[in-house]
A = this chain, B = another copy of it.
Amino acid sequence: MLKSINLLGFPIHVHRAVRTTKENHMSVTDTPIDNGVNVDVLLEAREALSNAPEAAQFTWRVTNTWKNGTHSESSLQQFFGLGGEQSHKTTFSYDADHPEIFASEDNGPTPVEFVLVALASCLTAGVATVAQNRGIQLNSVSATIEGDMDLRGILGADSDVRNGYSGIKVSYDIDADASPDDIKALVAQSQKRSAVYDIVTNPTNVTVEVR
């Protein structure tokens, strides 16, 4: 099933069924590789966006509303990209809060835990995408991610201590039809292409204004 997207004049045919890549990695003897990623569409998009850099400009948006204390709710649905407004299928909403040991109500994870959610999910999506592109069948992928933080930073107890993580460690357990070296190589490539890995390991300019 194909859906055509008008990409600023460059029509991209998007395969709605995510399992249509099978045939691209089949030979007479091979088992078809299917990690559920439509690599062809991504390669088409790369080609099309190289020729239409305006369409590659995306803006992701979240609105946040204070509830009480350290509790707030963030929602997202719309984003801008491919030259126009786009939308998720539904609105996604997330509570964040501080835990009870800080006298908060624990209505949600801490904001810093959401950073770990972002990093883990970005790297895992990359692992699946790179594996598909390299013809590696994944059987299972799981990761634990830990971020160390000295709380004297955010509490203002020691100005030499940073507010954020002193370091983050991600450990993958991957069962795939590939050698240990090939598995390591696909994780490394995912890291290289990861948006959130880049955001966490490199500085990003943030402006904060009051309207």
Q: Which chain B positions have C-beta within 8 A of A74?
A: 116-117, 120-121
Task: Let me know if A18 is at the binding interface, CB within 8 A.
Answer: yes
Q: A116-B76, A118-B115, A199-B165 are in contact. Are A62 and B209 (CB under 8 A)?
A: no
Distance (whole angstroms) from the CB of A203 to the closest CB of chain B:
6
- In contact, A206 and B195 (Cβ under 8 angstroms): no
**Given contact pairs A151-B49, A193-B154, A170 touches B66 in the complex (Cβ within 8 A):** no
Query: A62-103 CB contact bits vs B (8 Å, 1 = yes)?
Result: 111110111110101001011000101100101011111111
How far is A35 from B109 in the complex, measured between Cα atoms in Å?
19
Q: Work out how many copies of this chain go into the complex.
A: 2
Contacting residue for A202 out of B15, B100, B145, B162, CB 8 A: B162
What range describes how many residues of A lie at the interface?
35 or more
Given A94-B94, A144-B63, A210-B183, A49 contacting B164 (CB threshold 8 A): no
Say whether A163 faces chain B, with CB atoms less than 8 Å apart. Answer: yes
A36, B71: Cβ atoms closer than 8 Å: yes
Query: Residue A155 at the B interface, CB < 8 A?
Result: yes
Q: Is there an interface contact between B198 and A164, defined as CB atoms closer than 8 Å? A: yes
A26 at the A/B interface (Cβ < 8 Å)?
A: no
Among B45, B141, B151, point to the contact of A81 (Cβ < 8 A). Answer: B151
Residues of chain B contacted by A180 (CB below 8 angstroms): 210
Q: Report how far A71 CA is from B120 CA in the complex, Å.
A: 11
Question: Are the CB atoms of B58 and A151 closer together than 8 Å?
Answer: yes
Least distance between A178 CB and chain B CB atoms (Å): 11
